[in-house]
Copies of this chain bind each other. A is one copy, B any other.
Amino acid sequence: MVKKLERRKRMIQAARILFSEQGFEKTTMQKIADESNVGVATLFRYFPKKEDLIIEVVKEAIEQHVPYFEEIIHSNKKGIEKIDDVLTVYIRFISEENRETTKLLEAFELYTAFTPVEKRMLEEIEKAYGEISHIISEIVKEGKEDGSIQLSISDEFIWNTIFNMFGTAIKKYTLYTFLPDVILPVPNQEELTEVKNMMIHFLKNPAK
């Protein structure tokens, strides 16, 4: 019983590492099986299609991010500070310890862009993402309620987009931290932090 779960875990973990290192297409089911010390057939018993495994890995990766945000929302800070923390967490996604996971998510987005993925599968991913975005909107709501964030309706939409772009950009940077700077100049954490601070500053002092 426990062994079964362990095996499953081993397979997912091996897959996660390989996927994030080589991408989904270059990672073969055989490699994953070997890396988990499992026969291919076993791998296929757990995940009948390669895509099933991909979805599972991605889902777990997203879920790994949730606690970070949960911790923030349960803290005693004001809304605006929680926003600050959220942005900080995003910035940390680029750091060594989180990079693998984030890179994986980025790769998945590419995958969906070129490979038709079953709707049912996408919905699972959507649900996982939903948990995080729910928390974030809760935080914004808190901020509005405790008065630490004061935004007009129109500004609110704009800031929503800004946060979106901030997250999108940062996630993408994770893909390139190992590569020469050629393609995309990747800001370091200090630079991102300054941007974040500026954002928070403007958020506190909206242009009249």
Write the residues of chain A forming the contact surface with B, with a CB cutoff of 8 angstroms: 21-23, 25-26, 103, 106-110, 112-115, 119, 122-123, 125-126, 129, 154, 157-158, 161-162, 164-166, 168-170, 172-173, 175-176, 179-180, 182-185, 187, 191-192, 194-195, 198, 201-202, 205, 207
CA distance in complex: A126, B184 (Å): 9
CA distance in complex: A176, B168 (Å): 12
A158 to B109, Cβ gap below 8 A?
no
Q: Which residues of B contact A106 (CB under 8 A)?
A: 110, 113
B175 to A168, Cβ gap below 8 A?
no
Q: Which residues of B contact A191 (CB under 8 A)?
A: 157-158, 161
In the assembled complex, the CB of A173 is this many whole angstroms from the nearest CB of chain B, namely 7
Q: Which of B109, B158, B179 contacts A198 (CB 8 A)?
A: B158
Q: Which of B109, B122, B129 contacts A180 (CB 8 A)?
A: B122
State the majority secondary structure of interface residues on A. helix
Q: Which residues of B contact A22 (CB under 8 A)?
A: 114
Q: Which residues of B contact A176 (CB under 8 A)?
A: 109, 113
Q: Which residues of B contact A26 (CB under 8 A)?
A: 114-115
- Residue of chain B at shortest CB distance from A133: B185
Q: List 13 A-B contacts (CB under 8 A).
A: A25-B25, A106-B110, A109-B172, A112-B183, A113-B175, A122-B180, A123-B182, A125-B182, A126-B182, A161-B187, A161-B194, A164-B169, A168-B173
CA distance in complex: A123, B183 (Å): 9
Q: Which residues of B contact A202 (CB under 8 A)?
A: 202, 207
